[in-house]
């Protein structure tokens, strides 16, 4: 079970690192204002503790006698805050380094680094939001791309709820017919034929399936497409990665082995979130001329949702290239032939491969890669319409549970079992869908029965 | 108030002798407690002031459960029925509904006879006007004649009598049902005790003279040929008798026109009636207004008994003026010349918000005070009797200092009923419905004895002889299911010709008999010719074997749900919990939890106004 300590003060950078110049350090808890006051030097000599709630103040963060950054500080007092605790938000301007320095100063003054999602957890534990909202907000926090953020926001606005409600309503109507006939055996006009129930059930199944189909896409928007760039040393993997990173306007430092020395990077290219794995490895193999490790490539290929297999168009095909083609044969793979700007010596004819010819150096063909990925993962459509995305495993599980129950209904009908057994699984489907929206059955069905049918002695 | 005198000293006083009071008093007395059962009029014991039947959808289940616990309703209706039918037989074994038409007079006489001949029990005419509480405990009740009956526990079963008034048109009669004297004193006493009262409303149709009905214009509805008793003590052949028919007719647009033209004369629409009525028991004017596009409504004509010409007109409950009632009744085919014997009326009465009760039906704040029946905001004879037996058992358990009886939602409809009224918000008189029972496939009317006999026996309400018979039945079922599971059939010509005769596909490889029973076209009895070693078994044993094998897949799915349910029910909430200390509960939830005081997390989650988020808060708190 949850073990919570609701008394200490937590702080974190509340904007995703690397996205733009402004960074916010958020502090929440009993000592939030006190800690901020110990660092903030107002332009007009104000003390934050004396300010009204929900006001913004201009000044500097000064630590150890040194001004770290010029800031705007918002003061929000409990209980009308997101966490229902005192909250201070420090808006910094100096980019990644400044925001980190401000956070460090806050921590040194007694706050503790918040765990991922801990603000939301507090909002939830303090009764500010319910579980569904909490999950959607956690999605917002974790949102890796704009699209993902929209998905989460749409959830908050209840678009998913609306879709689920529609399906539930149709199930409820069928249930009400069956239940009314059961409760009033002598009333002859409430029964629904098996054919009608079957039709309604199949429609509900189709709608649930539609939602389930969005689950993978939803997950992609949340976690990104796990992508690996494979290829011999010096085919241009590292340049391609840089091209992607520039597209994302991420902070790229010029010092190798600093920000780049990580296992994976989540980037947003052309609206598609790519979670590129083994980025460190890419650099390593491109820097040091060495033989590719086939075993390593194999395990990376297995892990990935998408493989970008790169060849150097200016070189002839080698045994290693053939090996790479073989081990990526059964995976979603896009073959890229780089260095289009040089004389082409690579011959892929007769291998059943439709490569995209690119020149990373001249940024030629990069857009074609995006288009191809969109096509392969069917993510392009989602971008233009506003349909719902299922992005949480829990909701997906509820949908599968509902689907299973609806399948049971069809089986019951096909076996010509009595209608009470239909009712049992319709009820289960209705409740599984209700888990997503947090609604229950019993009063719904009774209200429905008495509003739809004229019954009673 | 005059000078009090001490009239008697007993263990338990039961106030009201309707269907709840009778079961309460019998259970208490049979458990060995000295008991007095009070009624305003002893000629109204177990009276049926509305419909002349017992059972029906989900209510039949309640009667069977009452019987399995050792209650009286099932035995009493078996002795006094004039027609019986098993309804819903095509819809699955969980919703089979046994319903019997009662001879109202005999039902009353028979119940009174049983009460009068029960040891430890006295029936006493008189209105109880006060309940004496000392140190938060019941110590006695006082009657209108200033008689103090000292007791250790009291059970309120006042039905629709408290401050009741009957209405039709602008006629308002300050009386209980059927022209009986209402109970005036007790409401004020309850208010003084801090008990919250509601005002509910219900209604009943007119009774008409059989000699003025033309049955040839109606559809006859006969009883079943193969009858099923309500009581597990009875066998069908022992209670067989000549049955009397009911009749079906319909309203029409002329009926509806008369109603519409006179709506302004209905106390319901003019605002004279203050009480909240049930949606499932609407008056005919209500039906016509709310379902304006329906051109006809079903109306059943049912006999009130063998020795009377009075007929009950089911579906025509009304509070319109008498002249309008007569005019509209006469528009029905077969009722053109009908003459009324009793006018339809609406009745308003005081009842309580049952959230004030524990699951044992004892008041949370008054030790030894219990209540049951329509007084608790329910409706229906069966719902009343079901609470009655539980209140009786628990009042007795309270006096004896033994563990009270609380049935949970997976044990019986009685458990669902009591959990609902104690836990959930009440907006109208509560009626039992199969859709309220989430585990109804396990709570069938056919297996009520398997579910509850053990419990009735433990509380001393089931005789040793009956218990031994029950154990034998249980054993026979288990053995037969096991035996069937061992029978494998090969695709022989004999086998396949019998299967083909039954309309099911022949087999091509070996198959277990269990799997054949599961086929939609097949059942246990049909396979007898392929089962030469089959023992001779009673019909009810064969029925259990068939149901338990045939629906095994569905049953086990529901059992899994029950396991989940039991996990939440198992998480107890301490009685002294301070909800103000639970961080993050919404104000509404805090108020509701304080009012209901749920005993476990499962019950907390069922309270209207307590969200899953609140339950999580509570869980977090309990785990801190």
Structural domains in chain A?
Answer: 10-126 (3.30.1360.120), 158-457 (3.40.50.300)
B357-380 pLDDT, tens digit per residue, is 999 999 999 999 999 999 999 999
Q: Which residues contact B328 (CB under 8 A, 6 or more apart)?
A: B255, B258, B259, B284, B316, B318, B320
SS3 state at B67:
helix
Q: Residue ranges of the alpha helices (H) in B459-551?
A: 464-485, 493-501, 513-517, 539-550
Task: Please give the C-alpha separations between residue B314 and each of B216, B303, B357, B428, in angstroms, as whole numbers.
Answer: 18, 10, 33, 21
Nearest to A457 among B51, B441, B586 (CB): B51
Does one domain contain both B540 and B603? no
Q: Which residues contact B464 (CB under 8 A, 6 or more apart)?
A: none
Average pLDDT over residues B402-429: 95
Look at A445 and B435 and tell me if their CB atoms are within 8 Å.
Answer: yes
Does one domain contain both B608 and B545? no
Alpha-carbon A232 to chain mean position:
32
- Write out the residue range of the structural domain in which residue B581 sits: 570-623
pLDDT higher than threshold 90 for residue B94 = yes
Q: Which residues contact A384 (CB under 8 A, 6 or more apart)?
A: none
Task: State the nearest Cα–Cα gap between B5 and chain A, in angstroms.
Answer: 46
Look at A182 and B613 and tell me if their CB atoms are within 8 Å.
Answer: no
Q: Which residues contact B259 (CB under 8 A, 6 or more apart)?
A: B284, B285, B288, B320, B324, B328
Q: Using N-to-C axis directions, what is the helix angle for B552-569 and A419-437, rounded to 10°? A: 40
Does one domain contain both B551 and B583? no
pLDDT higher than threshold 60 for residue A87 = yes
Find, among B472, B363, B486, B353, the residue nearest to B424 by Cα. Answer: B353
Does one domain contain both B519 and B602? no
Find, among B143, B182, B190, the residue nearest to B6 by Cα. Answer: B143
* Residue B507: inside a domain: yes
Does one domain contain both B235 and B322? yes
pLDDT higher than threshold 80 for residue B235 = yes
Does one domain contain both B546 and B576? no
Task: State the nearest Cα–Cα gap between B470 and chain A, in angstroms.
Answer: 28
Does one domain contain both B227 and B326? yes
Q: Grade residue B177 by pLDDT with cuts at 50, 70 and 90.
A: very high
Does one domain contain both B587 and B556? no
Look at A131 and B612 and tell me if their CB atoms are within 8 Å.
Answer: yes
Around B120, how many Cα atoms within 13 Å sit in the side-chain half-sphere?
18
Quote the CA–CA distance of B268 and B161 in Å, as a whole number. Answer: 20
Average pLDDT over residues A153-176: 78
Token code pair at residue A84: 């229902």
- The least confident of B131-145, B492-506, B610-624 is B610-624
* B57 touches A: beta carbon within 8 Å: yes
* Residue B77: inside a domain: no
Look at A457 and B617 and tell me if their CB atoms are within 8 Å.
Answer: no
pLDDT higher than threshold 70 for residue A145 = no
All residues of chain A having their beta carbon less than 8 Å from the beta carbon of residue B280 are 183, 450, 455-456
Give contacts of A 422-451 with B, CB under 8 A.
Answer: 424, 427, 438, 441-443, 445-446, 449-450
The partner residues of B303 in beta bridges, in order of sequence, read B311
* B558 touches A: beta carbon within 8 Å: yes
Does one domain contain both B214 and B333? yes
pLDDT higher than threshold 70 for residue B615 = yes
Does one domain contain both B254 and B344? yes
The structure tokens 């961080």 sit at: B583
For residues B397 and B27, the answer to whether their CB atoms sit within 8 Å is: no
Note the ipTM here: 0.84
pLDDT higher than threshold 90 for residue B73 = yes
* A194 touches B: beta carbon within 8 Å: no
Q: Name the domain boundary from B319, B348, B377.
A: B348
All residues of chain A having their beta carbon less than 8 Å from the beta carbon of residue B557 are 424
* A65 touches B: beta carbon within 8 Å: no
Could you please report the per-residue DSSP string of A49-105? GGSPSSEEEEEEEEETTEEEEEEEEEEE-TTSSSSSS-EEEEEE-SHHHHHHHHHHH
Average pLDDT over residues B214-241: 96
pLDDT higher than threshold 60 for residue A247 = no
A22-59 pLDDT, tens digit per residue, is 678 899 998 899 999 999 998 888 899 999 999 999 99
Average pLDDT over residues A268-287: 63
Quote the CA–CA distance of A361 and A243 in Å, as a whole number. Answer: 9
* Residue B430: inside a domain: no
* B219 touches A: beta carbon within 8 Å: no
Q: Name the domain boundary from B348, B383, B406.
A: B348
- Pseudo-torsion of CA A262, A263, A266, A269, nearest 10°? 90
Of residues A304 and B442, the one with the higher pLDDT is B442
Nearest to A179 among B205, B291, B435 (CB): B435
Q: Grade residue A3 by pLDDT with cuts at 50, 70 and 90.
A: very low
Q: Name the domain boundary from B308, B323, B348.
A: B348
Quote the CA–CA distance of B506 and B206 in Å, as a whole number. Answer: 57
Task: State the nearest Cα–Cα gap between B611 and chain A, in angstroms.
Answer: 8
Alpha-carbon B108 to chain mean position:
18
The structure tokens 């309220």 sit at: B436
**Substitution target from B92, B202, B516 for chain A, most A beta carbons within 10 A:** B92
> Which phi-psi region, left, alpha or beta, contains residue A63 (left: φ > 0; alpha: ψ -120 to 50)?
beta
Look at B58 and A183 and tell me if their CB atoms are within 8 Å.
Answer: yes
All residues of chain A having their beta carbon less than 8 Å from the beta carbon of residue B555 are none
Alpha-carbon B5 to chain mean position:
38
End-to-end CA gap in chain B: 55
All residues of chain B having their beta carbon less than 8 Å from the beta carbon of residue A3 are 623-624
Give contacts of B 559-588 with A, CB under 8 A.
Answer: 583-586
The structure tokens 């502090």 sit at: A27
pLDDT higher than threshold 70 for residue A321 = yes
* Residue B93: inside a domain: no
SS3 state at B207:
strand
Q: Which residues contact A425 (CB under 8 A, 6 or more apart)?
A: A405, A406, A408, A409, A412
Quote the CA–CA distance of B602 and B600 in Å, as a whole number. Answer: 5
Look at B280 and A450 and tell me if their CB atoms are within 8 Å.
Answer: yes
Look at residue A12 in the predicted model and tell me its pLDDT.
83
The structure tokens 């009926």 sit at: B255
Look at residue A206 in the predicted model and tell me its pLDDT.
95
| Mean pLDDT rounded to a whole number for chain B | 94
Of residues A446 and B121, the one with the higher pLDDT is B121
For residues B186 and B155, the answer to whether their CB atoms sit within 8 Å is: no
* Residue B226: inside a domain: yes
Q: Which of A268-282, A426-440, B469-483 has the highest mean pLDDT?
A: B469-483
The count of structural domains within chain B is 3
CATH number, domain with residue B316: 2.40.30.260
**Substitution target from B435, B520, B590 for chain A, most A beta carbons within 10 A:** B435
* Residue B7: inside a domain: no
Q: Kindly report the length of chain B.
A: 624
Task: State the nearest Cα–Cα gap between B57 and chain A, in angstroms.
Answer: 5
Quote the CA–CA distance of A65 and A183 in Å, as a whole number. Answer: 79
Phi, psi for residue A5 in degrees, rounded to 5: -115, 110
CATH number, domain with residue B613: 1.10.150.570
Look at residue A138 in the predicted model and tell me its pLDDT.
55
Q: Which of A29-33, A152-156, A259-263, A271-275 has the highest mean pLDDT?
A: A29-33
Quote the CA–CA distance of A398 and B363 in Å, as a whole number. Answer: 40
* A416 touches B: beta carbon within 8 Å: yes
Q: Residue ranges of the alpha helices (H) in B486-599?
A: 493-501, 513-517, 539-550, 552-569, 587-596
Q: Grade residue A384 by pLDDT with cuts at 50, 70 and 90.
A: very low
* Residue B532: inside a domain: yes
Residue of B nearest to A409 (CA): B554
Count the neighbouring beta carbons within 10 Å of the beta carbon of residue B195.
19
* Residue B310: inside a domain: yes
Of residues B151 and A193, the one with the higher pLDDT is B151
Q: Which residues contact B582 (CB under 8 A, 6 or more apart)?
A: B590, B617, B618, B621
Look at A183 and B93 and tell me if their CB atoms are within 8 Å.
Answer: no
Does one domain contain both B483 and B545? yes
For residues B171 and B322, the answer to whether their CB atoms sit within 8 Å is: yes
Find, among B382, B460, B406, B377, the residue nearest to B60 by Cα. Answer: B382
All residues of chain A having their beta carbon less than 8 Å from the beta carbon of residue B438 are 427, 441-442
Alpha-carbon B242 to chain mean position:
26
For residues B187 and B174, the answer to whether their CB atoms sit within 8 Å is: no
For residues A117 and A129, the answer to whether their CB atoms sit within 8 Å is: no
Phi, psi for residue B555 in degrees, rounded to 5: -65, -45
Task: Count CB pairs under 8 A between chains A and B.
Answer: 124
pLDDT higher than threshold 80 for residue B591 = yes
Look at B624 and A187 and tell me if their CB atoms are within 8 Å.
Answer: no
pTM for the full model? 0.77
Does one domain contain both B267 and B315? yes
Q: Grade residue B197 by pLDDT with cuts at 50, 70 and 90.
A: very high
Count the neighbouring beta carbons within 10 Å of the beta carbon of residue B194.
10
CATH number, domain with residue B480: 1.10.10.1800
């Amino acid at each position: 079970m949850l073990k919570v300590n609701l008394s200490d003060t937590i702080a974190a950078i509340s904007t995703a690192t690397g996205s733009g110049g402004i960074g916010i350090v958020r502090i929440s808890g009993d000592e939030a204002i006190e800690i901020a006051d110990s660092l903030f030097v107002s332009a007009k000599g104000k003390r934050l503790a004396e300010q009204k709630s929900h006001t913004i103040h201009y000044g500097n963060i000064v630590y150890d006698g040194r001004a770290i950054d010029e800031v705007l500080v918002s003061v929000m007092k409990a209980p009308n805050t997101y966490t229902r605790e005192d909250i201070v938000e420090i808006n910094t301007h100096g980019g990644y380094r400044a925001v980190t320095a401000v956070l460090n100063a806050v921590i040194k003054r007694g706050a503790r680094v918040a765990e991922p999602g801990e603000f939301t957890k507090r909002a939830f534990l303090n009764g500010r939001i319910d579980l569904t909202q909490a999950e959607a907000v956690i999605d917002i926090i974790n949102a890796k791309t704009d699209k993902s953020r929209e998905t989460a926001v749409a959830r908050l606005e209840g678009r998913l709820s609306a879709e689920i409600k529609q399906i539930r309503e149709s199930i409820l109507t069928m249930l009400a017919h069956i239940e009314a006939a059961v409760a009033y055996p002598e009333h002859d006009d409430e029964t629904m034929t098996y054919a009608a129930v079957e039709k309604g059930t199949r429609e509900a199944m189709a709608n649930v399936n539609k939602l389930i189909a969005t689950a993978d896409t939803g997950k992609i928007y949340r976690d990104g497409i796990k992508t690996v760039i494979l290829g011999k040393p010096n085919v241009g993997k590292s340049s391609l990665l840089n091209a992607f990173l520039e597209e994302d306007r991420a902070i790229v430092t010029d010092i190798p082995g600093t920000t780049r020395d990580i296992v994976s990077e989540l980037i947003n290219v052309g609206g598609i979130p790519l979670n590129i794995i083994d980025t460190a490895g890419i650099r390593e193999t491109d820097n040091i001329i060495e033989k590719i490790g086939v075993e390593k490539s194999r395990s990376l290929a297995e892990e990935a949702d998408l493989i970008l297999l790169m060849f150097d168009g200016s070189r002839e095909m080698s045994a290693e290239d053939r090996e790479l083609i073989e081990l990526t044969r059964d995976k979603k793979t896009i073959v890229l032939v780089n260095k289009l700007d040089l004389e082409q010596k690579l011959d892929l004819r007769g291998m059943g491969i439709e490569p995209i010819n690119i020149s990373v150096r001249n940024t030629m063909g990069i857009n074609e890669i995006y288009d191809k990925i969109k096509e392969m993962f069917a993510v392009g459509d989602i971008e233009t319409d506003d349909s719902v995305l299922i992005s949480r495993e829990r909701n997906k599980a509820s949908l599968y549970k509902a689907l299973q129950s609806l399948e049971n209904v069809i089986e019951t009908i096909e076996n010509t079992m009595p209608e009470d057994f239909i009712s049992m699984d319709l009820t289960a489907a209705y409740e599984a869908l209700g888990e997503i929206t947090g609604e229950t059955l019993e009063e719904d069905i009774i209200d429905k029965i008495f509003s739809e049918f004229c019954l009673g002695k | 108030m005059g000078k009090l005198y001490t009239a008697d000293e007993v263990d338990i006083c039961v106030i009201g002798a309707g269907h709840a009071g009778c079961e309460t008093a019998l259970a208490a007395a049979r458990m060995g407690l000295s008991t007095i059962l009070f009624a305003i009029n002893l000629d109204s014991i177990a009276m049926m002031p509305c419909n002349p039947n017992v059972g029906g959808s989900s209510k039949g289940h309640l009667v069977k459960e009452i019987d399995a616990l050792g209650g009286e309703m099932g035995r009493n209706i078996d002795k006094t029925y004039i027609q019986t039918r098993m309804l819903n037989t095509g819809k699955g074994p969980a919703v089979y509904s046994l319903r019997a038409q009662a001879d109202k007079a005999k039902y009353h006489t028979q119940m009174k006879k049983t009460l009068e001949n029960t040891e430890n029990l006295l029936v006493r005419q008189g209105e109880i006007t006060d309940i004496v509480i000392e140190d938060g405990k019941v110590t006695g009740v006082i009657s209108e004649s200033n008689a103090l009956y000292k007791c250790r526990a009291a059970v309120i079963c006042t039905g629709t009598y408290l401050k009741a008034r009957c209405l039709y048109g602008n006629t308002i009669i300050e009386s209980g049902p059927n022209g009986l004297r209402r109970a005036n004193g007790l409401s004020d006493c309850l208010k003084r005790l801090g008990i919250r009262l509601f005002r509910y409303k219900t209604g009943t149709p007119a009774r008409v003279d059989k000699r003025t009905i033309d049955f040839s214009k109606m559809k006859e509805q006969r009883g079943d040929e193969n009858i099923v008793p309500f009581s597990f003590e009875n066998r069908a052949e022992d209670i067989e008798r000549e049955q009397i028919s009911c009749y079906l007719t319909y309203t029409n647009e002329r009926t509806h026109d008369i109603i519409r033209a006179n709506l302004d004369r209905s106390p319901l629409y003019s605002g004279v009636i203050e009480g909240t009525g049930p949606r499932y028991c609407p008056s005919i004017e209500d039906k016509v207004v709310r379902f304006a596009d329906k051109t006809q409504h079903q109306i059943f004509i049912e006999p009130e008994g063998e020795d009377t010409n009075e007929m009950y007109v089911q579906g025509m409950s009304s509070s319109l003026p008498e002249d309008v009632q007569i005019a509209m009744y006469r528009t029905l085919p077969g009722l053109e010349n009908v003459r009324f014997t009793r006018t339809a009326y609406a009745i308003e009465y005081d009842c309580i918000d049952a959230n004030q009760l524990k699951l044992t039906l004892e008041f949370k704040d008054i030790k030894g005070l219990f209540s049951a029946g329509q007084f608790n905001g329910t409706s229906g004879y069966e719902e009343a009797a079901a609470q009655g037996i539980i209140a009786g058992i628990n009042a007795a358990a309270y006096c004896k200092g033994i563990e009270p009886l609380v049935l949970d939602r997976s044990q019986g409809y009685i458990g669902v009923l009591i959990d609902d009224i104690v836990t959930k918000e009440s907006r109208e008189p509560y009626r039992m419905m199969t859709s309220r029972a989430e585990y109804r496939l396990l709570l069938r009317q056919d297996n009520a004895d398997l579910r509850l006999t053990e419990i009735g026996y433990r509380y001393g309400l089931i005789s040793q002889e009956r218990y031994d018979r029950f154990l034998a039945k249980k054993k026979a079922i288990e053995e037969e299911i096991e035996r069937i599971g061992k029978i494998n059939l090969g695709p022989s010509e004999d086998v396949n010709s019998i299967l083909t005769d039954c309309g099911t596909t022949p087999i091509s490889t070996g198959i277990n008999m269990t799997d054949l029973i599961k086929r939609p076209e097949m059942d246990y009895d049909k396979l007898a010719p392929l089962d030469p070693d089959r023992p001779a078994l009673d019909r009810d044993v064969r029925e259990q074997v068939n149901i338990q094998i045939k629906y095994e897949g569905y049953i086990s799915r529901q059992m899994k749900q029950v396991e989940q349910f039991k996990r939440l029910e198992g998480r107890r909430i301490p009685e002294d919990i301070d909800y103000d200390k639970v961080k993050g509960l919404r104000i509404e939830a805090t108020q509701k939890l304080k009012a209901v005081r749920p005993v476990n997390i499962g019950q907390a989650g069922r309270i209207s106004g307590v969200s899953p988020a609140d339950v999580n808060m509570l869980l977090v708190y309990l785990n801190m």
